[in-house]
Structure 1
Amino acid sequence: MSVYFTNQAVEVVNNLNKNGFLTGNGEFVDKDFLPSYKWMIEQMDKRINNNGLMPIWLWATKPNLREEGHFNKGTKAVCLTVEIPENKVLLSDFDAWHCVLNDGFCMISEEEDRLFEQGKLTITKKQSWERIFHLAKLRNSEMWNNGDQIVQGVTSVIQKEQILNIEYFIAN
Structure 2
Amino acid sequence: MNMGIYYTYQHENAWKVALERGYLQGAPQFAMFNDEGFEFFEPAYDWMVEQYEQRIGISLNGNYPVWCLDEFPDLSTDGHIGQGNKGVVLTVELPDDQVLASEISFWDFVPYNSTFCDTAEAFDHREDIDPAYTRKSWEKIFDRKWCEEMAVNRSIEAPDYQYVIHRIELHQVRAVMPFQNLNDSWLDRIRGFGWRLGYRLGLKKSIPFHWQGNCHFKEIS
Compute the TM-score of the two structures, normalised by the length of structure 1.
0.87
**Does the 8 A contact of 2:11 with 2:30 survive in 1?**
no
Q: Do the aligned partners of residues 62 and 85 (structure 1) sit closer, same or farther apart at CA in structure 2, a change above 3 Å counting?
A: same
Q: Find out whether 1:59 has 2:44 as its counterpart.
A: no
**What does 1:30-49 align with in structure 2 at a 5 Å threshold?**
30=33, 31-49=39-57
Evaluate the alpha carbon distance shift between residue 120 and residue 158 of structure 1 in structure 2; reply closer, same or farther with a 3 A threshold: closer
Letter in 2 for 1:46: Q
Q: Deviations over 1:19-66 (max 9, x none)?
A: 010111112332422211111111011011231331111112221111
Distance apart, 1:137 and its partner CA? 1.4
Q: Tell me which protein shows more strand as a share of its residues.
A: 1
**CA positional deviation for 1:12:** 2.5
Is the 8 Å Cα contact of residues 9 and 79 (structure 2) preserved in structure 1? no
In the superposition, relative to structure 1, how do residues 16 and 115 fare at CA in structure 2: closer, same or farther (>3 Å)? same
Match of 1:88 among 82, 88, 98: 98
Where structure 1 has 5 or more consecutive residues not aligned to the other structure, the ranges are none
Q: 2:147 and 2:84 mapped to 1: Cα distance?
A: 35
Output aligned runs, 1:89-168, within 5 Å.
89-107=99-117, 111=120, 113-114=122-123, 117=126, 124-141=133-150, 145-147=155-157, 149-168=159-178
The equivalent residue for 1:3 is 5
Larger Rg: 2
**Aligned sequence identity (%):** 28
Q: How many residues align structurally?
A: 170
Structure 2 segments unaligned to the other structure (5+ residues): 34-38, 183-221
Q: Deviations over 1:77-102 (max 9, x none)?
A: 10000011011110001111110111
- Compute the RMSD of aligned alpha carbons: 2.4
Alpha-carbon distance in structure 2 between the residues aligned to 1:36 and 1:9: 21
The letter of the residue matching 1:50 is I
Runs of 4+ in 1 over 4 A off after TM superposition: 118-121, 142-145
